[in-house]
Structure 1
Amino acid sequence: MSLSTKPLANVTVIELARVLACPFADMILAELGATVIKIEQPGSGDETRSFEPPVGDESAYFFACNRGKQSVTANLKTDAGRRIVRELAASADIVIENFPVGTLARYGLDHTALRAANDQLIYVSCTGFGQTGPYAKRKGYDTVFQAMGGLMSLTGERGGGPVKPGLPIADLTSGMWIAIGLLSALNGRTLTGKGCHIDFSMLDGQVSLLTLAAGRYFALNEVPPRLGTEHPGRVPSATFACSDGAYVHITCSDQHWLPLCTLLKLDALASDPLLATNAGRVEHRERVMQTLTQAIAGWTRRELCDACDAVGVPAGPINDVAEVLADPHVRARGMVGAFEHPTVGSFGALPLPFKFDGFDDPQIQRPPLLGEHTDQVLRERLGYDAQHIAALRRDGAI
């Protein structure tokens, strides 16, 4: 049998998590080769299994963030269910959980308890506000963290109210932060031979993303205003309406300014020394934007994008989801695929965006049925026999 060349083929993850951030992190690890064992409540499982939109008796929401995992049911309210988790964690590399602060300590499944039996274990606690601090006991969801972390304050049209992005950015970026932390800890373990506990706060993750907005505040004491699609420090960098009702986003550095003016036949702007640098265009933002908006209004989206490409001006169409998934470049890069599901059949999916030279590229895998791997995992990993498994099921532990 040939060895797998997936980069995380030697890693085992126990997922004590649900909904989106942690499952998304674990799906990344799973399709990079890790064995991810998702612990779910018997009978119901991860609540996202019932989220909209439905696909037969399954959920497209669950499908989007749970591919490539093994599903094991274990009732953590029973001694036998908790014992299953402890025994699995004793030989695992990673445990990831997103229970409220203190919950798993009451079950004897916190990082102190599990790492006492496996000092190489990397244990991630993902909560809304972290294990410490005045908000540690507070509840929150993606949009709460977007609001409290500043993202919504930056998003929206000029003079308008705050707007949430069209995707659960706090959840998705938290999943990426968690994956980064886990991969760092795995490498750290090779240096020390020891595992660790990672305390990750989703609010912390959003604060870290403020980057350039915080930089403007530190440098200028400026609280960045909402500017719609415009950039606070670059002009032009904005979305413009075209004659066909579609939109194009254009972003220019100084070297693109004259080609754009020439393309749009804006000789007065091109010859104005006040506008030759970005600093000058930022200072005269209203004039520049008004003139560009009027000039671009006579172009169709396709005409403008093609013309910008021809002269090297960075521009792109504002695509909706259907247009993105049909885009020939996106398709050529293999970014639209599918998996075969035992009850749903073929269902579309987006692969991880990595192209490796030296490892196998990540492959789209299917999400598990609830409890699909319970018997297999208990038998092969823990050595339970059929009678033991049947008794656990009869007692409601699995």
Structure 2
Amino acid sequence: MRPLDGVTILDLSRVLACPFASMILAELGATVIKVEQPGDGDETRSFEPKVQGEGGSESAYYMAFNRSKQSVTVNLRSPEGQDVIRQLASTADVVLENFPVGTLKRYGLDYDRLRAFNDSLIYVSCTGFGMTGPYAPRKGYDTVFQAMGGIMSLTGEKGGGPVKPGLPVADLTSGLWVAIGILSSLVGRGTHGQGCHIDFSMMDGQVGLLSLAAARFFALGEVPARMGTEHPGRVPSAAFRCRDDKWVQVTGSDQHWKPLCDLLGLTEWADDPELGRNRARVDRRLEVMAGLQEAIGKIDRDAFCRLCDDAKVPAGPILSVDEVLTNEHVLAREMVASFAHPTIGTFNAVPVPFKFTGYDNPSLARPPLLGEHTEQILMQQLGMSREAVQALRDKNAI
């Protein structure tokens, strides 16, 4: 038994943010029916990189965000296809979509229309800039939302230009926001007995992450500058280059300052009561950072990390992706798993990171082939005959 067993999500979304959300919920037990365009499917099925197997190739991008779902192909531009969606929505708990504002209303598949068939429906609209406001008609991508939401202005080295984080942060965090919205709405419906429409803007999602930067602006009128790996209000909290040219992140509070200085042989600093307070270290940031870098630069990364562990100083190696995915702790926590795929064989994946007591842990199943479950779902869930399904195929509705 998993937490979301019995929940059905009709997923009309594609690409990354919303598919990420629905994949998380699928592996927590929800039945996710992914609706794809006949012929091509979700456009990410064609995205690089491709994984080659004995039966052909598959997109690693698609597989990363569409595990554990069922795939049906429906032509949303077809009146008959639109009717199929309305029937499926009448049996679903959640409808998830990320079409441009107004698109599904033209197809008769907006919240007001589908609510008429299912008054307890939870309907999530994930758009770039929301359903209202001056930017509502605009389109955007992950990097646009990073740019306009502030995170890119905060990321980069001192005195340098803005830098894009190494992952699609706006897409991934939007997926998490969407999952939170769906889960909270399911709880609300269980308590109050009513469905709802969620208007989620990816731009809003990025503004919602500003948190500490916004607090500093509200409190001090400060526009945070780019600081690389350093923290604006804490020293030390930064990456340091070690003797072997590998990097380590050290982040400590006042209670860690003396142990850090002791293990580095910085005796004068260890015994300096002024530097024992963070405020003084922030005021003397350039001096302190230079001294720490000189001392840490004389020790290999892994040896330095062991010293920090022994002294209970918070520090960690800056690991590359290959180091992370082969790390002993990551493997012990079962954060690398695999699935068997009919086209490419066995393929590794990063699972949903929850460990439950009282429920089964999240499952991990392969992504669906395009349209693999169309006939099954239409016949079993909607009660269609095989002849009726074929008639829809003949009309290019599915």
TM-score (norm 1): 0.98
Q: Hey, what's the Cα distance between the residues in 1 that align with 2:262 and 2:245?
A: 24
Q: Hey, what's the Cα distance between the residues in 2 that align with 1:231 and 1:10?
A: 45
Q: Hey, what's the Cα distance between the residues in 2 that align with 1:120 and 1:342?
A: 37
SS, match of residue 275 in structure 1? coil
Shift of 1:35: 0.3
Residue 231 in 1 paired to residue 244 in 2?
no
Q: Hey, what's the Cα distance between the residues in 1 that align with 2:229 and 2:261?
A: 20
Please give the residue correspondences for 1:318-397 in structure 2 after superposition, counting only pairs within 5 Å.
318-397=318-397
Aligned to 1:43: 39
What is the letter of the counterpart of residue 94 of structure 1?
V
Please give the residue correspondences for 1:88-103 in structure 2 after superposition, counting only pairs within 5 Å.
88-103=88-103
SS, match of residue 117 in structure 1? coil
Q: Hey, what's the Cα distance between the residues in 1 that align with 2:386 and 2:277?
A: 75
Aligned to 1:169: 169
Aligned to 1:113: 113
Shift of 1:303: 0.7
Residue 255 in 1 paired to residue 251 in 2?
no
Aligned to 1:85: 85
Residue 180 in 1 paired to residue 180 in 2?
yes
Q: Hey, what's the Cα distance between the residues in 1 that align with 2:341 and 2:233?
A: 47
Shift of 1:220: 1.0
Aligned to 2:6: 10
Q: Hey, what's the Cα distance between the residues in 1 that align with 2:167 and 2:309?
A: 29
Residue 283 in 1 paired to residue 309 in 2?
no
What is the letter of the counterpart of residue 256 of structure 1?
H
What is the letter of the counterpart of residue 25 of structure 1?
A
SS, match of residue 250 in structure 1? strand
Shift of 1:295: 0.5
TM-score (norm 2): 0.98
SS, match of residue 197 in structure 1? strand
Shift of 1:271: 2.4
Q: Hey, what's the Cα distance between the residues in 2 that align with 1:223 and 1:43?
A: 49
Residue 69 in 1 paired to residue 69 in 2?
yes
Q: Hey, what's the Cα distance between the residues in 2 that align with 1:284 and 1:245?
A: 26
> Cα deviation per residue 1:312-353 (whole Å; 9 max; x = unaligned)?
000000000000000000000000010000111000001110
Q: Hey, what's the Cα distance between the residues in 1 that align with 2:280 and 2:119?
A: 58
Q: Hey, what's the Cα distance between the residues in 2 that align with 1:206 and 1:275?
A: 36
Q: Hey, what's the Cα distance between the residues in 2 that align with 1:256 and 1:169?
A: 31
Q: Hey, what's the Cα distance between the residues in 1 that align with 2:40 and 2:136?
A: 28
Q: Hey, what's the Cα distance between the residues in 2 that align with 1:107 and 1:331?
A: 47
Shift of 1:234: 0.6
* Higher mean C-alpha displacement, 245-254 vs 268-277: 268-277
What is the letter of the counterpart of residue 49 of structure 1?
R
> Cα deviation per residue 1:256-278 (whole Å; 9 max; x = unaligned)?
00000000011122222321111
Q: Hey, what's the Cα distance between the residues in 2 that align with 1:121 and 1:392?
A: 26
What is the letter of the counterpart of residue 17 of structure 2?
A
Aligned to 1:21: 17
Runs of 4+ aligned structure 1 residues displaced above 3 Å come to none
> Cα deviation per residue 1:227-254 (whole Å; 9 max; x = unaligned)?
1000111100000001111001100100
Q: Hey, what's the Cα distance between the residues in 2 that align with 1:311 and 1:193?
A: 54
Q: Hey, what's the Cα distance between the residues in 2 that align with 1:383 and 1:287?
A: 74
> Cα deviation per residue 1:81-128 (whole Å; 9 max; x = unaligned)?
101100000010000000000000000000000011111000000000
Q: Percent identity?
A: 65
Q: Hey, what's the Cα distance between the residues in 2 that align with 1:376 and 1:45?
A: 18
Residue 273 in 1 paired to residue 273 in 2?
yes
> Cα deviation per residue 1:280-328 (whole Å; 9 max; x = unaligned)?
1111111100000001111000110000000000000000000000000
Q: Hey, what's the Cα distance between the residues in 2 that align with 1:19 and 1:262?
A: 51
Q: Hey, what's the Cα distance between the residues in 2 that align with 1:204 and 1:96?
A: 18
What is the letter of the counterpart of residue 333 of structure 2?
R
Residue 104 in 1 paired to residue 104 in 2?
yes
What is the letter of the counterpart of residue 259 of structure 1?
P
Shift of 1:191: 1.8
Aligned to 2:295: 295
RMSD: 0.6
Aligned to 2:140: 140
Aligned to 1:243: 243
* Gapped regions of structure 1 (runs ≥ 5): none
Q: Hey, what's the Cα distance between the residues in 2 that align with 1:262 and 1:270?
A: 6
Residue 33 in 1 paired to residue 29 in 2?
yes
SS, match of residue 116 in structure 2? helix
SS, match of residue 273 in structure 1? coil
Matched positions, count: 394
Q: Hey, what's the Cα distance between the residues in 2 that align with 1:283 and 1:274?
A: 11
Please give the residue correspondences for 1:46-57 in structure 2 after superposition, counting only pairs within 5 Å.
46-56=42-52, 57=57
What is the letter of the counterpart of residue 99 of structure 2?
F
> Cα deviation per residue 1:145-199 (whole Å; 9 max; x = unaligned)?
0000000000000100000000000000000001001110001101221100000
SS, match of residue 160 in structure 1? coil
